[in-house]
Structure 1
Amino acid sequence: MQIEQIYTGCLAQGAYYITSNKEAIIIDPLREIQPYLDRLKRDNVKLKYIFETHFHADFVSGHLDLSKATGAPIVFGPQATPHFDAIIAQDNQIFNIGNIQIKVLHTPGHTMESSTFLLIDENGVDHAIFSGDTLFIGDVGRPDLAQKAANKTQEELASILFKSLRTKILPLNDNIIVYPAHGAGSACGKNMSKETSSTLGEQKKSNYALRINMSEEEFIHEVLDGLTPPPSYFRMNVALNKTGYTNFEQVLKNSLKSFDALAFKEMIENTDALVLDTRTADDFYKNHIPQSINIGLSGDFAPWVGTLIADVKQPLLLICQKNKEEETITRLSRVGFDNVLGILENGFESWTNAGLETDSVHRITAETFAEQISSGNHKIIDVRKETEYAAKHLEEAYNKPLAYINDWINELNPKEHFYLHCAGGYRSMMAASILQARGYRNFTEIEGGFGAISKTELPTTDFVCQSKTL
C-alpha cells in the first residue's frame, strides 16, 4: 500500500493518490490531470475509482477529465446529485482496491453530501481517514456555505456537523491518520493548522471542535463565531463541479494566444476584458498598463483572483512573467477562470517598447512613511485580515481587509490622501491597482508593508476599536 499526499500550496489543497496491488484511487484531484496520469503510468497501476469528498467550492476538481481519460468511475457520498454519471455510495459502503478497502462514512454538515473515506489496510486495520472538509487539522469545515443548496440555516448545518463528528469520527481509534482536503490559508475553514496531516488522537486533544465535553450549543456557537463572508466565486465553482466544465487541455489551447502590443491594445479597447497583470508588486508599481489589476502569480494567486474578480466568466487579458504563461492559465483554471482572450506577447516590455501609455503607483519606504506621518495626523488603511490587524497594528490605522474592498471603497474620500499597507506589499499592491482602476489616486502605498513598518519607531497596538470607520 502506498499513500501520497499531493499538496498544492497556493490553494492549500490536498489530493491523495493511493495504490495497492496494481490498483489505485485518487481522492479530490485538481483540474490538471496529467500529473496523476504520469503517476499511474510510472507505477503501472490501473485507476479503479475517483473519490470526491463533496462538491468543492474553492477549486474546480479534475474528476470529470480524469474519469474520461481512464474510464474510472467517480464516487460521491450519499445525497450527492451530480449532473453526470457517478456512483452515489451508501453510508458504510465498502470499495475494494487491491488488498485494501475504502469505507464511506457519510459526514454531512459542511455540505449535505460531505463524506469521509476510511482506509482499511491489508490486515483489516483502520489506517487513515480522508476527511475532506469535514475535519481539518485544528478546525472543521465551515457550515455556512451550503445553506441555499441544503435549504437549511447555518445553525442547522452546524448541528448536523456536530452529530457527524460525534457519531462517525470521534468513535474511531486514536492512532488513525487524518488527511484533510485543506490546510492553513484555505477559506473553507477559519483556524486551520499549517500541518497537513495528524492523528485522530492528537486532534481529539487539540482541535477545539472535538472537545469531548462540548455541548451541541457550544459547538454551534464556536464553529460559527468569527466566520467571514465566503468569496463570491465559491458558488460558481460548486456549480462547475456539479454540472461539468470544459476539458482542461481545451482551455489551455484556447487561452495560449499571444498578441503583440498594438493588437493587445486594440483588444483592451474593443472588448469588456479585464487586464490582469500577474507580475510582482515590485515590477507593477514602477510601470503598468493603465486600468490593469495586479494579482501576482508568486503569491496566493488563484484564490485572490476568485475573491477580487469573482465572476468566473469574466474575459481576461493577461500580462505574464516570462515563461509563466502556461502556469498562469493553469492556476486560473483551478478556480474556474477559463475565459482568457489572450496574452501580451513578450511580456510587459513589448508594451513599453511600442511607446504605449503606462501608469505607476506612488510607493515609499517604511522609513519615509515614518518621517512623513510624524509631522501630523494622517489616514492609514491596513488591508490585512482582521486577525492580523487584531494581533498588532499601527495605532491610527483603519482595518479594511482587501477581500472586502468592493464594500469599503466607496467610503473613501477621493480628495483626502491616505497611506495603504498590508503585511509585505503583495496585497496592498492589489488594492492599489483596484483603487487606481476606479479613479482613486490620492494615496501612497508602503513598500514592505507592516513587516517593514514594525521595524520603525512608529507606535503599534493590539487594541481594536470596533466602531472605527473611514
Structure 2
Amino acid sequence: MSPLPSSQPYRIHQFYDKGLAHASYAVLSDRQMAVIDPGRDPQPYYDFADEHDARIVAVIETHPHADFVSSHLEIARETGATIYVSELVRAAYPHQAFDEGSRISLGQIELHAINTPGHSPDSICVLLIDEFANTRAIFTGDTLFVGDVGRPDLREDEAVGGHKREELAGLMFDSTREKLMTLPGATKVYPAHGPGSLCGKTTSPDLDSTIGKELKTNYALQPMSREEFVRVLLEDQPFVPKYFGRDVQLNKQGAPAFEDSVRAVPRLLPGTELTPGVLVIDTRPAAQFRQGHLPGAVNLMDGGKFETWLGSIVGPREPFYLVADSQIGLDTVIRKAAKIGYETNIKGALLTPRELPATAPSVAVEQVRQHPEQFTIVDIRNRAEARQPLFEGALLIPLPELRERVQEIPHDKPVLIHCAGGYRSAAGASIVQAALPAGTPVYDLGEAVNEFQKQAVH
C-alpha cells in the first residue's frame, strides 16, 4: 500500500496475511498509534510502533472475527492500550464500548465508530476524521470489501447468537445504503479481507479502494430492492469452515499470548509412540507422502491456505498430531495452526518418523484419459466450482465434508480423487484411503487435473 503524503498529519499502514487473506492496520498520528483488527501474532505491530517511535494506545476490533484469532487482548496487556469494541459484542475482556457517536482522539485526528450490522449483528466501521473535520478513510472490517460485502450467514448457530442469515442480509442492506454509501466519494476504503477470504464471495484482488469506486463497481452497492439484495447476497456463498464458530467465541473471550501458546505445543522426540485413533496431519509434499507415511495420516501440505484447510478438515476441538520434515517446517505449521486457535488441539508435533509403513499408489493419467469409466471418480471441489463437471457421473463431495461422508463412496472400482489444482486432492485421497476397506486402490489425480480442465474448456 502506498503511504499517504507526508504532509498529512497521519499515516495508515496495512499488514496483509496472504494465507488468511486478512488485512489489519496501524493508524499513526503524533507518535500515537491505533491497531485495527490485529492478527494472532502481535510482533509486527510492536515492530512498526518501535520503528516510528510510537506508542500503541488503542486496539480496535470491528467485530469478533470468525476466520482468525485476534491478538487484541495480548496487545492491550503488553502495551497498556485500551481495547475498543461495540458493546453489542458483550466482550469478556476489559474494553471501552465503541459505538455510534463514540470517538477516539489520536494525535491530530479522530477515529469515529459507526454501527454497521450485517456481516455480524455487532459489526462496526471506523471513520478517520482529519484535523479539519473531513472524512478521509473508513476501516470497514468485514462489512465492505473491495468488490463485495461481508457474508451474513456465519452467526446462525446458537453458540454464536442464532441470528438468521436473511435478517443479517437485510441489516447489511441498511448499513450500506444508510451509512457507507452516503460517505464522500473520495473516502478511502480499508477492508479486513482481500481475495480468497471465506468471509465474502467475489472479493477483488485490490486491497483498498474508495467509496466512489465501490459505488460504481461493487455489485452489492448497485440499485436494487431490499428483497433482491437479500437474495443476491445469499446465493453462492462459499462453505463455512469447521473452526469459524469457535473463533468467534474465542475472540469474544480474548486469546492467550501467541508465543506462549506456540511454546506450549508438545514437541515429541523421535520414536515416541503416538496414541492410537488420534488424527495425524502430515504436512510434507504429496510425492513424499505417497512414498511413505503413517497409517491413516491425512496429507495436508504446508501451503498458501494451510490454516483454512486445517480448520475445514479438523474439528474445532479435535486433537491431532502434526508431522513435518524439519524443525523450521514444524514451527511454521504450528504457528499457522495458532493463527486460527488450533495450537491447543495439537497433541504433539514431530519430525517425520523413520518407519513409514503406508504408501499410496501413483495414478496412470493416460488410463484415466482413455477409460474414466474404470474409476469411481470423486470431485472434492466446492459446489460453485463443480458446476462444470470434469468427468461425467463424478460423485461430488466437497473436501470439508469428506471425512463425514466418505462412506458414501462405492469401492467396487478403484477410486480417483480430483480437485481444481492438486492441493486439496492430496488431502482428499489420504482421507479416503484411510477410511475405505484395506486394499481399495485410491488415486490422487493431483496437478494432472489441469490437463483435463483445459480439455473441458476446449
Q: TM-score, normalised by structure 2?
A: 0.91
Cα distance in structure 2, aligned partners of 1:315 and 1:78: 34
1:283 is matched with which residue? 288
Matches within 5 A, 1:39-188: 39-147=48-156, 148=158, 149-188=160-199
The offset of 1:447, in angstroms, is 3.0
In structure 1, distance between residues paired with 2:364 and 2:451: 8
Q: For 2:421, which of 421, 424, 446 is the aligned residue? A: 424
Deviations 1:429-450 (A, max 9, x none): 1001111222353322113142
* Correspondence for 1:239 among 249, 261, 270: 249
Instruction: Measure, in 2, the Cα distance between the counterparts of 1:418 and 1:275.
Output: 22
SS of the residue 2:137 aligns to: strand
Structure 1 spans left out of the alignment, 5+ residues = 463-470
Aligned with 1:268: secondary structure?
A: coil
Q: Any idea what SS the aligned residue of 2:384 has?
A: helix
- Paired residues of 2:375 and 2:413 also in contact (CA < 8 A): no
Is this contact kept in 1: 2:415–2:443, CA < 8 A? yes
Alignment correspondent of 1:292: 297
Instruction: Confirm or deny: 8 A CA contact 1:28 1:52 kept in the other structure.
Output: yes
Q: In the alignment, what sits opposite 2:409?
A: 412
Cα distance, 1:93 vs structure 2: 1.6
> Who is 2:218 aligned against?
207
Distance across 1 between alignment mates of 2:430 and 2:442: 11
Q: 1:295 Cα deviation (Å)?
A: 1.2
Map Cα deviations across residues 165-214 of structure 1 (whole Å, 9 max, x no partner): 11110000111111111122221112222221111111111111111x21
Asked whether the 8 Å contact 2:33–2:56 carries over to 1, the reply is yes
Structure 1 residues 418 and 258, CA, compared in 2 at 3 Å: closer, same or farther? closer
Given that 2:85 and 2:99 are in contact with CA atoms closer than 8 Å, whether structure 1 keeps it comes out as: no
Displacement, 1:85? 0.8
Question: For residues 32 and 259 of structure 1, what CA distance do their matches in structure 2 show?
Answer: 27
Residue in structure 2 matching 1:393, options 374, 390, 394? 390
Structure 2 match to 1:321: 325
Matched residue SS, 2:169: helix
Letter in 2 for 1:447: G
Residue 424 of structure 2: SS of its match in structure 1? helix
1:50-103 CA-partner distances (Å, limit 9, x unpaired): 000000111111111111111101111241200111111130322111111111
**Where do residues 431-446 of structure 1 align in structure 2 (5 Å cutoff)?**
431-439=428-436, 441-446=440-445
Q: Which residue of 2 aligns with 1:343?
A: 349
- Identify the match of residue 190 of structure 1 among 178, 190, 201: 201
Q: Judge conservation of contact 2:403–2:431 (CA < 8 Å) in 1.
A: no
TM-score (norm 1): 0.89
SS at match of 1:90: coil
**Of 7, 15, 21, the match for 1:6:** 15
CA contact (8 A) 2:433 2:442 kept: no
Shift, 1:228, TM fit: 4.5
> Which amino acid counterpart does residue 454 of structure 1 have in structure 2?
Q
Instruction: Give 1:309's aligned residue.
Output: 314
Compared with structure 1, are the counterparts of its residues 285 and 329 closer, same or farther at alpha carbon in structure 2 (3 Å cutoff)?
same
The question of 1:29 aligning with 2:33 is answered no
- How far apart are residue 368 of structure 1 and its match? 4.6
Distance change (3 Å), C-alpha of 1:365 and 1:23: farther
**Hey, what does 2:336 align to over in structure 1?**
331
Segments of 5+ residues of structure 2 without an aligned counterpart are: 1-9
8 Å CA contact 1:366–1:452 kept in 2: the answer is no
- In the alignment, is the contact (CA less than 8 A) between 1:285 and 1:429 conserved in 2? no
Aligned letter for 1:303? T
Note the C-alpha offset of 1:256: 5.5
Q: How does 1:214-253 map to 2 (within 5 A)?
A: 214-253=224-263
Whole-Å separation in 2 of the counterparts to 1:152 and 1:403: 23
Alpha-carbon spacing, 1:150–1:165, altered in 2? closer, same or farther (3 Å) = farther
Identity, % of aligned positions: 33
1:229 Cα deviation (Å)?
4.6
1:314-346: CA deviation from partner (whole Å, max 9, x where unpaired): 2222211322222211110111112223222xx
Paired with 1:392 and 1:20, the residues of 2 have a C-alpha distance of 53
CA distance in 1, matches of 2:405, 2:451: 25
Q: Is the 8 A contact 1:119 1:129 kept in 2?
A: yes
Contact kept, 8 Å, 1:366 with 1:453, in 2: the verdict is no
Deviations 1:377-431 (A, max 9, x none): 5432221222322256334434322122134322112333222111221100100
State the partner residue of 2:3. none
